[in-house]
């Protein structure tokens, strides 16, 4: 009995010491305290996994299905599967005794519940400034895991790639950003989750209507025909989440679109699925910048 009591005191003292030497970081909910030593990390956010992988950090607990191919090994190497992208497995999470939980986006509504298990960082990004926020997140993870130099290198790589993309899009006309979800099409503007295309990369938006809804503003083939954008940038949600239904290329193979500038000049860019699932993560940002630079330079 005395031994158990002593062990409890040691654990409590250790926890108090760790928080006494905590690291302060910024999150979407404001400043948060993180233990100085994080040995047991649980991550629910795919963008966070993306940047953590680039920093060489393997969390102990990861969601079972990460959907993004290049992050599949993060789930396989995890010692514990802690639920899905939306629903936490609290039994598994409690069992791994995390020092820190990282969430974002789809898991954010569970913040209060998860905070009762361990210190929880809400690293949600809104998309209007995905690069600035993505850089901030990488710097934060570097600070937490004492990998500031590695984080600085990653940020410098992205800054260089961003400059190249910004140069490539200059004077190349406007673009309409759409998401295709089965037969449905939605437009996304500068205030939306894809706003970084216009706000940070500098592409001229074709659709000037305010459409900041999470799932965009529904539009028709007739709308796109009348707008007649120079470019169309497409997120194929159906393919990204492996849903049933025709993919975006099939849906957009429509007579009303064939004579528009974007389609007639083959100026239609299909984003990688990671742009929907892990927006703001290191590899996602780099992949998208390279794709856009190559497309606009080739025009």
pLDDT in tens, 130-139: 999 999 999 9
**Average pLDDT estimate for 247-269:** 97
Task: Identify the residue whose tokens are 């998401």.
Answer: 179
What are the angstrom distances between the C-alpha of 90 and each of 59, 123, 250? 17, 20, 41
User: What pLDDT, on a 0 to 100 scale, did the predictor assign at position 14?
Assistant: 44
In which band, very low, low, confident or very high, does the pLDDT at 15 lie, cut at 50, 70 and 90?
A: very low
Residue 49, CA atoms < 13 Å, CB-side half-sphere? 30
Question: Cα separation of 116 and 113, whole Å?
Answer: 6
In which band, very low, low, confident or very high, does the pLDDT at 298 lie, cut at 50, 70 and 90?
A: confident
In which band, very low, low, confident or very high, does the pLDDT at 238 lie, cut at 50, 70 and 90?
A: very high
Question: Cα separation of 257 and 264, whole Å?
Answer: 8
User: What pLDDT, on a 0 to 100 scale, did the predictor assign at position 89?
Assistant: 98
Q: Please give the share of the chain, as a percent, with pLDDT higher than 90.
A: 86
What are the angstrom distances between the C-alpha of 287 and each of 95, 157, 213? 36, 12, 25
């Amino acid at each position: 009995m005395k031994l158990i009591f002593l062990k409890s005191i040691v654990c409590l003292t250790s926890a108090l010491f760790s928080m006494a030497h905590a690291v302060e970081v910024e999150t979407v909910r404001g400043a948060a305290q993180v233990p100085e030593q994080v040995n047991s990390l649980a991550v629910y956010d795919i963008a966070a996994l993306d940047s953590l992988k680039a920093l060489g950090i393997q969390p102990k607990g990861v969601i079972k299905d990460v959907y993004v191919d290049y992050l599949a090994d993060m789930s396989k190497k995890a010692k514990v599967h802690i639920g899905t992208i939306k629903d936490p497995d609290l039994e598994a999470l409690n069992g791994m005794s995390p020092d820190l939980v990282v969430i974002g986006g789809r898991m954010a509504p569970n913040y209060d519940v998860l905070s009762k298990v361990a210190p929880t960082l809400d690293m949600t990004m809104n998309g209007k400034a995905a690069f600035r926020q993505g850089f901030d997140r990488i710097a934060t993870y570097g600070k937490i895991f004492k990998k500031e130099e590695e984080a600085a290198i990653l940020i410098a790589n992205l800054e260089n790639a961003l400059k190249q993309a910004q140069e490539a899009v200059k004077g190349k006309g406007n673009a309409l950003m759409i998401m295709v979800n089965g037969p449905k099409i939605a437009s996304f503007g500068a205030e939306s989750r894809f706003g970084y295309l216009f706000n940070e990369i500098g592409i001229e938006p074709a659709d000037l209507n305010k459409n900041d809804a999470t799932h965009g503003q529904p539009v028709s083939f007739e709308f796109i025909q009348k707008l007649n954008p120079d470019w169309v940038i497409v997120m194929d949600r159906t393919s990204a989440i492996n849903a049933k239904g025709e993919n975006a290329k099939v849906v957009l193979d429509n007579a009303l679109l064939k004579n528009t500038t974007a389609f007639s000049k083959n100026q239609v860019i299909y984003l990688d699925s990671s742009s929907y699932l892990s927006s703001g993560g290191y590899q996602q940002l780099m992949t998208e910048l390279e794709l856009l630079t190559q497309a606009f330079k080739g025009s």
